[in-house]
Structure 1
Amino acid sequence: MDFIAQISSEWPRWSEPAYLLKNLMRSFLSQKHLLNFIAASENLGAHLFHEKRHLKNLTQYGGDIRFHIFLVSEKVWRKPVDPRKRNGPGAESLLEQRKQDIQFPYKPPPWPNEVRSPHHAVLLYTPGNSQAESSVEEDILLAVPGGVVGYQAFYVILENIIRNAAKHGFPRAGADHLDIVIEILYDPSQKINIKTDNDPQAPAWLIRIYDNVSIVKKRYNDGEVLLWGGKNGTRGINDRLGTSVIQGGVKKEDWGLAEMKIAAGYLQGRSIEYIGKVDDSITGKKILETPKGELDDEMLLLAESDDKEPGSSAIIRAVASPIETLGYEFYMLQPQTVGIVLTKDHDPL
């Protein structure tokens, strides 16, 4: 209720640092009842991290919702899973291949420890039949407007992705579980910047969230998710995201996408007037289809600004993920740290 009151009135101009895994995701994953019921209509329940409780929980559901969080370099961010790996047993093999691309980006197997890169990390990986892998040491720090109350904006995006994937993608995919993957572009030099009301070059993280079941429509596959509309009057997800939330009457469709756009704008410190803009102001320029073997990197290109250029003005964009499923890319602010250096002759406090 606090978040609803905050987002429907004056938005905070201050932010509070929070870790993605240790703060935002830990709080979200602890909500067993939410995760058990958010996709219960499709017989999907929570993945519990206690083995006995998880097995007991699965007796009530046909499958579970598994979360994965990856930190990736720019090279791997732009790299889709090798199409030759797509002959494995379903989408799970594609996600496993993505994990291997992130952990060992430089050499094929066998993988000695020394080829691991500090720019790549598996913060969380949730396999079906074994203990989850996690690495809190590599966790990233975010700047969340409104502090703990502002966490809900991130959850709004996450919950809409889960609901849409469960309702539309999961029944068609024939999968036995739903994967939700969160990727963060590693940016130690702070090349990623966005334009906010307070700062024309605010350092930000580029986030990508995707599932394992919602296949994007391309010329060479039988996917059903349309990212961009064509000349025949059809509308894709980005066309819907680019529709203004400020209209002369009650908005009767695409409420979930509107919620995601508003939540992403909130996390980026945008004004509600700016979020009310349309088309490429929200999503970046229209790209009907990228060449085979390449990923849409429009959000990355927009945000890579130098000292003389403002940061990205785009808010959120639907893309094909590294495993050719539906993904959403958006920015979240980076906190700015301050160090205090005391000289030897400084009086103690």
Structure 2
Amino acid sequence: MANLPPGQRGEKGEPGSCDCGGGGNDGTGGRQNSPRAGRTRPQLLRRQSGMDRQPGTDMLMNSASVRIMDSYKSFSDVSYALQEGAIVFTADEKELFLKIDHQLNEWISVASYIEKRPRRMPFPTTPSAGSTRAPQAPVFLSNVVYGPKLRLVALPYLLPGDLYYKSGSSILGGDYACQDAAQKVGMTRSYFKVFLNGMYSSLDTVVHRTQRTAVPVVNYYGQRLFNSFEEMLNNGNWNNRIAIQDFGGKDIAQWTENIGRKEILAWQGVRRSQRLSEPFTPDCEGFSNRDKLKTGRATNLLSGSLFQSREITCDSRLVVLCIEAFDENSDTLNPMDYRRK
């Protein structure tokens, strides 16, 4: 073709031909023998419903998971497009469905194959810790209490003044930390609370009202610390030759960071009498604040006293004590009895 000046249109050329898998000039454009010919609807649906092609291969990778639909109608509208093995949960009917046949768009209700009864799951555990078996008590122990008792046990880690634990803080976070630690060592019949006060509560309401006057307070291995919870609040002193352990059964004085130390500080709560006489008693704002400009009170557990009342900043990380709300063999099993009152 002769060169044309810029802007001038040339003449139309002759029709060409194509070897595109056969039949390029038969009016079909090669579609009958093309690899794309014969592709069926199920294959197309499979490609749209969670099956992705692995790069460089003909292998399809399944990326299916449980799909949550607002209603059964929404589910029925898209059910045909989901692959076999798809699982769908309908929020309105609280039903779980499994697709077993793609061609027939056939589904089964999973609930018809399993026991349709809620299952109570255990408290969650941290991935690194997991559940452990409760340690065995030493062979020779003195002052062991047999019968009803309330155990006073330390958490196996330190917490700041806001008691932050697993997205919870203040008294709720402390109570959860105590109960979680108890569950991990198999204390499934016990209900532990943090031995601290909230912004509008005091230590007097930590233990259930029926257990405050006659049930002894003991350490992890059952050795007597106080004759009752009431005596514990009024006196606060125990024989310091009897150790306090953590939920692993280890003496807190034997923690690696505490060996050789002359004091082990624990957060100290506020009693009702203190709150009445000192309305502005420093307690990290009901143990809800870890600001270094705020203060709380601490006690040295090696002194054998729970109420030394030493002032300390709320950003400090100290030992936290937990106590059973009631004896594990008591009949106090109503969840409403777990509250501080």
TM-score bucket of the superposed structures, by smaller chain: under 0.3
Considering Cα pairs closer than 8 Å and 6+ residues apart, tell me whether 1 or 2 has the greater RCO: 1
**Please, what TM-score do these two structures have when normalized by structure 2?**
0.25
**Please, what TM-score do these two structures have when normalized by structure 1?**
0.25
Higher helix share: 1
